[in-house]
């Protein structure tokens, strides 16, 4: 009777600690989830009914965005022995692809997904930190980072607030920007083009449905903007005429 009670107590303690007592076959399995840019392959190793490791393999997810999900989601699954973990903000599709691939591996190992779906409660900090600044920038995308840098160069103390796991925003996925009149264009042997040529191409491509004054303002400011970015350590590659870069 004492032995039975001891066993029940041990099982209860294991359950309280979040240890999955699942029926899965030990071994390493490879599953696939659908990410933003195609399949994401994930290898899961089971040992003694537990998830021993989760490793992300081949994928085509966007560099600069997917890395936080690839780093955090596998670690969280192993730590909590659960696939009911929070996705990473800004990399939701990559996060879900990894979770789905692990679920695939659980099924391959003969297990039940329900055994690895224990609720995961994130610890919330109650710490309060007082910070002093002159300017608060909400969003660390291209515009936010530029605004923060300009404010700092003007003598302001700046704090940037970003909800995503990484910085850059949609600028990470931008395909290029104008550089007419920049030092990069002047030093390049890849061909020169003028604002007049650029304007003509742009308007024709957009069927003259855009605001010409606004586009022209963007174009005449492009060179000095590129030079300012270069002066502040941003790495850029000059591709010549926009049509040559397509």
Residue 78 lies in a domain: yes
90-99 mean pLDDT: 94
Spatial neighbors of 122 by CB under 8 A, at least 6 apart, are 86
Range of the domain at 239: 175-246
51-63 mean pLDDT: 94
43-47 mean pLDDT: 97
Alpha-carbon 30 to chain mean position? 23
> Tell me, what's the pLDDT at 21?
54
Residue 84 lies in a domain: yes
Domain count, the chain: 3
Residue 8 lies in a domain: no
- As a whole number of angstroms, the distance between CA 227 and CA 223 comes to 6
Q: For 71-94, how does the pLDDT look when each residue is reduced to its tens digit (9 = 90+)?
A: 999 999 999 999 999 999 888 999
Q: What pLDDT band is residue 54 in, cutting at 50, 70 and 90?
A: very high
Are 112 and 157 in a shared domain? no
Residue 68 lies in a domain: yes
pLDDT score of 197 more than 90: no
pTM, two decimal places = 0.62
Residue 33 lies in a domain: yes
126-135 mean pLDDT: 92
Q: Please tell me the least confidently modeled range out of 53-57, 66-70, 242-246.
A: 242-246
179-200 mean pLDDT: 82
Name the residue with higher pLDDT: 44 or 16: 44
pLDDT score of 156 more than 50: yes
Q: Give the mean pLDDT of the chain.
A: 85
Q: For 210-221, how does the pLDDT look when each residue is reduced to its tens digit (9 = 90+)?
A: 899 999 999 999
DSSP state of 243: G
Tally of CB atoms within 10 A around 34 = 13
């Amino acid at each position: 009777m004492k032995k039975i009670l001891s066993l029940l107590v041990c099982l209860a303690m294991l359950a309280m600690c979040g240890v999955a007592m699942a029926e899965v076959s030990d071994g390493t399995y490879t599953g696939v989830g659908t990410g933003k840019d195609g399949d994401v392959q994930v290898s899961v190793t089971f040992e003694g009914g537990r998830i021993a490791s989760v490793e992300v393999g081949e994928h085509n997810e966007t560099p600069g965005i997917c890395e936080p999900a690839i780093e955090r989601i596998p670690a969280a699954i192993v730590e909590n022995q659960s696939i009911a973990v929070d996705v990473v903000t800004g990399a939701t599709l990559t996060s879900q692809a990894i979770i789905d691939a692990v679920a695939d591996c659980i099924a391959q190992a003969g297990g039940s997904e329900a055994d690895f779906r224990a609720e995961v409660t994130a610890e919330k900090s109650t710490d309060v930190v007082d910070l002093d600044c002159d300017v608060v920038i909400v969003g660390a995308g291209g515009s936010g980072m530029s605004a923060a840098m300009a404010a700092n160069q003007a003598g302001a103390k700046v704090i940037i607030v970003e909800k995503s796991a990484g910085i850059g925003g949609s600028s990470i996925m931008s395909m290029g920007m104008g550089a007419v009149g920049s030092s990069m264009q002047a030093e390049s042997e890849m061909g020169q083009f003028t604002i007049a040529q650029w304007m003509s191409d742009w308007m024709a491509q957009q069927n003259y449905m855009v605001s010409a004054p606004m586009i022209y303002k963007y174009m005449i400011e492009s060179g000095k903007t590129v030079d300012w970015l270069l002066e502040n350590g941003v790495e850029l590659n000059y591709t010549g005429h926009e049509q040559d870069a397509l």
